[in-house]
Amino acid sequence: MTSEPAGIRVPDVLSPDVLDGAASYDVVVVGFGIAGGCAALEAARAGARVLVLERAAVHGGTSSMSGGHFYLGGGTVVQRATGHEDSADAMYDYLVAVSKEPEHDKIRAYCDGSVEHCDWLESLGFEFERSFYPEKAVIQPGTQGLMFTGNEKVWPFREQVPPAPRGHKVPVPGDTEGTRMVMDLLRDRLEEAGVEVRYETGATNLVLDDAGAVTGLAWRRFEETGMVRAGAVVIAAGGFVMNPAMVARWTPQLGEKLFTLGSTYDDGLGIRLGESAGAELKHMDEPFITAPCYPPSRLLTGVIVNQRGERFVAEDSYHSRTSQFVMEQPGSAAYLIVDSEHVEYSKYSLVPLIDGYETLAELEAALDLPAGSVTATLARYDEHAARGEDPDFHKAPEWVAPQSVGPWAVFDLRLGHAMYAGFTLGGLRTTVDGQVQRADGSVVPGLYAAGACASNIAQDGKGYASGTQLGEGSFFGRRAGRHAAARAGVPTVGA
């Protein structure tokens, strides 16, 4: 009989007698990324005595590696300042529309609380710039505070809900510096609130009483081990993209020819700790996978075809939506074809140029596509594009243009050729307040989860929007922290 690989082994649960003589805290938070930091701050501000355990030597986690977008809406100060109308109802309708299995109570809470959450984030010590970046890009190139970061303008969603930009970026140029700044500010606010943080210290086991309630945990720091008693525990320890065994079991797509987006400690330990207490796992087989083919955005006027030479997705889709459709094609293969009147090149493209071809017949032969396939596809596309229409995939008119002037450039979207990257979206089942739930819907008393180790609203790569992870991680982290403080017997302040 073979044992489970160490990477998916569920830690043992310990009995309360191991807590004799252990230090006691109202709330213990496992992990100091955006979710854990926000949970700790709200719990402390509610009057709780809070301890944060962080396995790394510094704060930040994978949050500090992210692009700096927070998905916020409903009429934030930035939306209002830039003349963009939005409402909590419109934001709710959109997020429900793009979710595979929408959790309505969470989406409702997130949208209703989004304006206040935007203000709360700024109260940490920064302001989103009151400016709008109108181009289609992966992230604003400068300090612009707002842009579209999802599929709000993509069919069919644009017909269901009036599009509104909700990608709020921290006002620092670059992909990650802004989030690092927020994490530094969060660290400072935790110090002011009296939160104790132990770095290079990780949780190893949960302690449960006879009723199944979490009453503490075991920790390790190098060769030193110990116990801590807790009125409540918030797990905010990241996803599992760095755990080969868990990836092979749940999201094998991430284990093949992809770069993983995560820190060393995105090894799923937080999820397995939750499992040890009886938690149900949700959406574990849902990855985020992407290789953006824009910018330059002008390339989206072209067509994306599979190995049959046929289109299969609206080219103006958000980059992870396009990439998820590519993964579903035979051989996970696709090509972006752009004519000479619309082609542009980028030095930093993740989707490499294969070559240029004087004729479509030459292109088809070189790519081993069925003879006449791309010729037929472009003939139909160009016929309708001349009228600004795309009846097959409903690409927005601004991205519709005939691709009739050779030579034609071909960019390689094939898995293993384009630079695809990804992370995990699934995790512990939780309530709207972050309480970890069992399969029957009951909660594990005293146990909470937030961020990438919890399954919240960012559950499907096709419907994902940049900023959802930071947005919901911080939002639901706050809710978990407040509820955990109340669970520990601390009256919440201003809840």
| pLDDT of 151 strictly over 80 | yes
| pLDDT of 163 strictly over 90 | yes
pTM equals 0.94
**Residue with the two structure tokens 């795309």:** 390
Do 208 and 315 lie in a common domain?
A: no
Percent of the chain with pLDDT over 90: 81
Total tally of structural domains belonging to the chain: 3
Of 379, 412, 445, the domain-final residue: 412
E strand or H helix at 455? strand 454-455
| pLDDT of 495 strictly over 50 | no
Nearest 10 degrees: Cα torsion 69, 70, 72, 75: -60
Looking up residue 186, the CATH number of its domain turns out to be 3.50.50.60
Do 307 and 381 lie in a common domain?
A: yes
Position 62 scores a pLDDT of 79
Position 59 scores a pLDDT of 87
In a domain, 492, yes or no: no
Do 151 and 208 lie in a common domain?
A: no
Do 400 and 297 lie in a common domain?
A: yes
In a domain, 1, yes or no: no
Report CA torsion sign: 202, 205, 208, 213.
positive
| pLDDT of 329 strictly over 60 | yes
Q: What is the mean pLDDT of residues 429-455?
A: 96
Show the domain range for 113: 69-169
| Strand pairing class (23-30; 224-235) | parallel
Position 463 scores a pLDDT of 87
Do 148 and 296 lie in a common domain?
A: no
Do 330 and 462 lie in a common domain?
A: no
| pLDDT of 175 strictly over 70 | no
Read off the pLDDT of residues 214-237 as tens digits, 9 standing for 90 and up: 999 999 999 999 999 999 999 999
Do 113 and 156 lie in a common domain?
A: yes
In the sheet that holds 281-282, the strands lie side by side as 281-282, 427-429, 454-455
In a domain, 241, yes or no: yes
Position 1 scores a pLDDT of 36
Position 457 scores a pLDDT of 86
Read off the pLDDT of residues 352-392 as tens digits, 9 standing for 90 and up: 999 999 999 999 999 999 999 999 999 999 999 999 999 99
Q: What is the mean pLDDT of residues 190-195?
A: 97
Do 129 and 50 lie in a common domain?
A: no
Do 474 and 351 lie in a common domain?
A: no
| pLDDT of 68 strictly over 70 | yes
Of 384, 412, 440, the domain-final residue: 412
Position 261 scores a pLDDT of 79
Of 364, 386, 412, the domain-final residue: 412
Mean pLDDT of the chain: 93
In a domain, 110, yes or no: yes
Nearest 10 degrees: Cα torsion 182, 187, 190, 195: 150
**Alpha-carbon span 178 to 72, nearest angstrom:** 16
**Alpha-carbon span 392 to 305, nearest angstrom:** 13
